[in-house]
């Protein structure tokens, strides 16, 4: 067998895997017991040293194409799994040719949509999943990526404060168009998404997982509504009068609250009926406004809604400690050592793998608010941490156990 590896960086440890065996026959000690979505190809999660990898068997041509697409999406900063290598030239012990393999890195703390719900999917959870998929699809379309097979099964989800963050996991049918997508390409992607989502929710309904109040067709139609609202907010022109220039800043704030940055503002003056109007069209260049802000200030790599919660809490900490004139970097350092780190440090070792630290921080703040509401007084942070660790966290689903750790 003459193996060929295509990889961005050398990965000699990949040679230790049994490439002479069909993927479905790999010994159990190689396999990580991770939940995964429905796939048209054989996919296995594999333990390799201190990492977990996803291996998918496909033809060499398709593997190379998907590998390059994923590399380009990573380069553009889009939310997707990271490609590691393409393995070709596989043969079995009898010299028979085996399919090539695409190797990607497993996304920590990510789950397929089915694994998020062990018994029942509530209506609000279903809506949040559709919202996160709509945000992901808009981001990809703005980058010029046509997906071609939009579905919940081809998406991984990570908890992001009270919402979910979606990541593309299968780019096999995708196309990257640097000049941008046409209306027809975007519409076709949305139609595929709607059809697939309806089918996936009907499947959940047949399995008794779906709440009886959820209508699969209504949920499928929701992706169009959510997508259109977000796309229009990000790309549409807005006409305002010259006396309402504050609305320019308001538009920027709305975009930031959706998690998008504004690269430039294009304005032109249009005179009608003797009145001056400003036609505003923001150029949205990237998303992750709060994520990048938290990363810059603290070095923490968090999801967008988690980042928004952290920045808001940081601003409250700044006001309560009379640090209005202090540089934000100094405020962030004090907040990190006096607020965030005490929460993480208080976690017992056996509970630290339950959720990501940023998610635990978010839930501790929610728990503190709940306690303060019930007691009609401000509950100290240390008391809220103690209560959360004792009453709430032990009852949480052990997600790292579910993820095969």
Round to whole Å and give the CA distance between 332 and 300.
11
The pLDDT of residue 49 is 79
What distances in angstroms separate CA 147 from CA 35, 66, 169, 189, one per listed residue?
23, 11, 11, 7
The pLDDT of residue 242 is 67
The pLDDT of residue 218 is 92
pTM exceeds cut of 0.85:
no
Which segments of the chain have a pLDDT < 50?
Answer: 400-405
The pLDDT of residue 402 is 44
The pLDDT of residue 264 is 62
The pLDDT of residue 289 is 77
The pLDDT of residue 265 is 65
């Amino acid at each position: 067998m003459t193996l060929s590896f295509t990889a961005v960086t050398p990965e000699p440890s990949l040679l230790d895997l049994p490439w002479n065996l069909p993927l479905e026959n790999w010994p159990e000690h190689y396999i990580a017991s991770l939940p995964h979505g429905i796939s048209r190809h054989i996919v296995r999660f594999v333990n390799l040293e201190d990492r977990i990898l996803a291996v998918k068997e496909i033809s060499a041509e398709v593997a190379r194409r998907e590998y390059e697409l994923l590399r380009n999406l990573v380069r553009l900063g889009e939310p997707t799994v990271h490609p590691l290598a393409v393995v070709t030239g596989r043969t079995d012990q009898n010299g028979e040719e085996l399919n090539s393999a695409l190797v990607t890195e497993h996304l920590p703390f990510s789950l397929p949509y089915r694994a998020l719900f062990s018994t029942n999917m509530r209506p609000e959870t279903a809506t949040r999943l559709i919202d996160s998929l709509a945000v992901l699809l808009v981001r990809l379309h703005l980058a010029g990526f046509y997906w071609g097979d939009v579905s919940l099964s081809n998406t991984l989800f990570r908890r992001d404060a009270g919402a979910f963050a979606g990541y593309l996991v299968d780019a096999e049918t995708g196309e990257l168009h640097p000049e941008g997508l046409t209306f027809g390409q975007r519409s076709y992607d949305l139609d595929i998404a709607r059809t697939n989502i309806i089918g996936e929710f009907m499947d959940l309904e047949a399995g008794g997982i779906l709440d009886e109040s959820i209508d699969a067709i209504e949920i499928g139609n929701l992706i169009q509504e959510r997508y259109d609202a977000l796309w229009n907010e990000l790309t549409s022109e807005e006409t305002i009068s010259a006396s309402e220039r504050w609305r320019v800043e308001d538009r920027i704030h709305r975009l930031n609250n959706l998690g998008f940055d504004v690269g430039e503002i294009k304005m032109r003056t249009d005179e009608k009926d003797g009145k001056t109007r400003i036609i505003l069209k923001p150029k949205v260049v990237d998303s992750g406004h709060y994520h990048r802000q938290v990363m810059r200030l603290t070095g923490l790599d968090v999801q967008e809604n988690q980042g928004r919660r952290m920045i808001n809490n940081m601003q409250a900490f700044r006001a309560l400690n009379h640090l209005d004139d202090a540089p934000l970097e100094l405020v962030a350092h004090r907040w990190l050592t006096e607020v965030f780190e005490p929460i993480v440090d208080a976690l017992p070792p056996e509970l630290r793998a339950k959720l990501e630290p940023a998610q635990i921080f978010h839930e501790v703040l929610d728990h503190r608010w709940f306690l303060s509401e019930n007691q009609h007084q401000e509950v100290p942070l240390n008391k809220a941490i103690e209560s959360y660790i004792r009453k709430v966290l032990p009852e949480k689903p052990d997600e790292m156990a579910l993820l095969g750790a």
